[in-house]
């Protein structure tokens, strides 16, 4: 069964490790310019131009917004962590389950149950809160 609101995309959303590191910085610290992002990526040895190129890719993917300040841009996350996860799950469903979410959800529930059975209760609560919003 296909789920309403999920549409086919021509190309999947791919987010690399550096892009995720940058997104994590923006989620944690809010709006930053490329130099500030570079200063906060302490576990990586990269150049400013690499960070700028990464921020540009994230902007093209509409995952960050930017504001021109002088000669530089300031960036902030355009999506929440939860929304990015949802987009990646949607892409996964398209690639391995012909857009159907049921097998993806079943696999996720199995993973949660195996990894941490206590999280199943938290998952149930989250589903209940989501249903109450509708």
The answer as to whether 9 is a domain residue is: no
Q: Note the pLDDT of residue 2.
A: 47
Q: Which of 77, 97, 118 is the last residue of a domain?
A: 77
The helix or strand, by DSSP H or E, that contains position 130, with its residue range, turns out to be helix 118-133
CA 81 remoteness from chain centre: 5
Q: Which domain holds residue 102?
A: 81-133
Q: How far apart are CA 62 and CA 60, in angstroms?
A: 5
pLDDT 10s digits, 64-80: 999 999 999 999 999 99
User: Do residue 72 and residue 86 come from a single domain?
Assistant: no
User: Do residue 49 and residue 85 come from a single domain?
Assistant: no
Our count of domains for the chain comes to: 2
C-beta of residue 37 within 8 angstroms of C-beta of residue 51: yes
User: Do residue 69 and residue 100 come from a single domain?
Assistant: no
Which 8-state DSSP code applies to residue 13?
-
C-beta of residue 82 within 8 angstroms of C-beta of residue 68: no
Q: Note the pLDDT of residue 5.
A: 47
Q: Note the pLDDT of residue 34.
A: 97
User: Do residue 107 and residue 127 come from a single domain?
Assistant: yes
SS3 36: helix
């Amino acid at each position: 069964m296909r789920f309403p609101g999920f549409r086919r995309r021509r190309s999947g959303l791919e987010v690399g490790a550096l892009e995720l590191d940058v997104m994590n910085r923006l989620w944690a610290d809010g709006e930053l310019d490329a130099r500030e992002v570079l200063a906060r990526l302490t576990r990586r040895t990269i150049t400013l131009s690499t960070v700028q190129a990464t921020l540009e890719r994230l902007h093209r993917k509409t995952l960050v917004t930017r504001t021109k300040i002088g000669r530089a841009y300031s960036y902030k996350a355009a999506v929440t962590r939860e929304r990015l996860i949802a987009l990646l799950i949607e892409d996964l469903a398209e690639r391995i389950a012909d857009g159907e979410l049921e097998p993806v959800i079943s696999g996720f529930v199995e993973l949660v149950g195996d990894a941490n059975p206590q999280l199943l209760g938290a998952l149930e609560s989250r589903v209940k809160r989501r249903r109450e919003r509708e």
